[in-house]
Amino acid sequence: MTVPPLPPVPGTRMVELGREESLELLTGVSMGRVGFTHQALPVIRPVNHLVNDDGDIVIRTHAGAVLLATASGSEVVVYEADQIDEATHTGWCVMATGTASRVTDPLALPRYRTELTPWIDTEMEHVVRIRAEFVTGYRLETAVSHE
């Protein structure tokens, strides 16, 4: 059964956000999606994350993860998270594009392993950092009447 699309909400508009506000929104949620290339095709995986003090996105993954092959070569990936209210057509979406690499720093690894608890019940021994080189964000908001 096909669900008909919701009609547009009058006065809703899309506003571009700056880097700092976008990273702040990303910091406020713990789940998103990482997109990367595998065998010349795009792949998207849901993952939980944290944003470190440098504005980089940090995720954990398991030994067999396809992302590790990408992260070992510092290839470009995209990370996206959002919060959308389908009833009001409001919310936000943030995308961060940058290079992914394994975290090997013996001082950083224990911190990330403590602060970033996996959502799935499997060993997630690897930590990957995405250097957020380009950060774009958009907010869907309802225009407020000034009458």
Kindly report, residue by residue over 45-66, the tens digit of the pLDDT. 999 999 998 999 999 886 667 7
Structure tokens at 85: 């209210």
Q: Per CATH, is 29-142 categorized as 3.30.9.10?
A: no
**How far apart are the C-alpha atoms of 36 and 22, rounded to whole Å?**
21
d(CA 94, CA 123): 28
What average pLDDT does the chain have? 85
Q: 136 or 72: whose pLDDT is higher?
A: 136
Distance between CA atoms of residues 65 and 82, nearest Å: 24
Strands 126-142 and 57-61: antiparallel
Task: Convert the pLDDT of each residue in 4-50 to its tens digit.
Answer: 666 666 677 889 999 999 999 999 999 999 998 888 889 899 999 99
Contact 15, 138 (CB under 8 A): yes
pLDDT at 73: 63
Which residue ranges make up each domain of the chain? 29-142
Q: What is the pTM of this model?
A: 0.83
Q: Looking at residue 147, what is its pLDDT?
A: 41
